[in-house]
Amino acid sequence: MMVKADQRHLYVQVIERLKQDIESGIFKENERFPSEFELARTLGVSRATLREALRVLEEEKVIVRKHGVGTFVNPRPLFSSGIEHLSSVSSMIRDAGMEPGTIFMDVIETDVCEDDMTKFNCSEENRLVTIKRVRTADQVPVVYCIDQVLSKNIPLGTDELLNESIFDAIEKSGRIRIAQAVTHIEPVGYDDEASSILRCGVDVPLLVLLQQHYSEEGEMVLYSKNYFRADKFSFHVVRKRV
């Protein structure tokens, strides 16, 4: 397992070697690394070189270091999606070869308030439906969804949301097609409600996607606040030079 000398910086060689060992299963997900002393001796490098390699691996989220406990291999996200591609949570789960489901649902219909009227550009005669669901992948909770939509835009009611995506429920009338969304991403270390529902402790961070979904005509038809387990999901953006 000892690092071989070549022209690259030694810590770069250590990084590549540790990544190879993780890839080959020598170090498994959520497994604790040996102590720095043991690992440096095994690799044949100084502890200073090892620490620099571990620092980079931590920045890349390959490992996580817990003070007073040790260094652990981060599990790979099950789902990776380009944030520029607009798709439902159900589609993301199916694309990963897993079966989407719903294990919790709460539906509340209320009068619209002043903020709702501004958000949806609607009159006070409208009713707002707030849907709270936990989406599962092969029966494992992975996303806590809070969706808001005007009741007029779910013509067939909310019962069908147990079995299909909210996109499909909105678009079934044939009157609306969701064309784009404005998305804000916020990292959250821990949330009392969402973390408990998703069965993850303080060590599992969450990614919150706040999204305003618009129809082809520019009407804001759906507001979503989705809590994704950061150990299950990763998002990326393709950037082009202009």
Q: Are residues 131 and 198 in the same domain?
A: yes
154 shares its domain with 232: yes
Structural domain boundaries enclosing 86: 79-236
Rounded to two decimals, the pTM is: 0.68
- 54 with 112, same domain: the answer is no
3 is a domain residue: no
Are 69 and 95 members of one domain?
no
pLDDT the model gives residue 162: 66
C-alpha span between 148 and 163 (Å, rounded): 18
CA dihedral (115, 118, 121, 126) in degrees, to 10, reads: 20
Mean pLDDT of the chain: 85
Instruction: Tell me how many domains the chain contains.
Output: 2
Per-residue pLDDT at 163 exceeds 70? no
- Residues 165, 130 within the same domain: yes
Residues 115 and 232 in one domain: yes
Single out the residue in 37, 57, 73 at which a domain terminates. Answer: 73
Q: Mean of the pLDDT values across residues 12-19? A: 90
Same domain assignment for residues 158 and 90:
yes
| Domain end marker among 73, 97, 115 | 73
Pick the more confident residue, 155 or 37: 37
pLDDT of residue 121: 92
Give helix then strand counts, H and E, for the chain: 7, 10
Same domain, 49 and 142: no
Model confidence pLDDT, tens digit, residues 52-71: 999 999 887 788 888 788 89
- Residues recorded for the chain: 242
In the listed set 55, 73, 91, which residue is the last one of a domain according to the structure? Answer: 73
The token pair that represents 45 in the structure block: 């490098």
168 and 214 in one domain?
yes
Could you tell me if 125 and 220 lie in one domain? yes
Highest mean pLDDT among 2-16, 52-66, 140-154: 140-154
Name the band, by pLDDT with cuts 50, 70 and 90, for residue 7.
Answer: very low
101 lies in the same domain as 68: no
Q: Would 143 be classed as within a structural domain?
A: yes
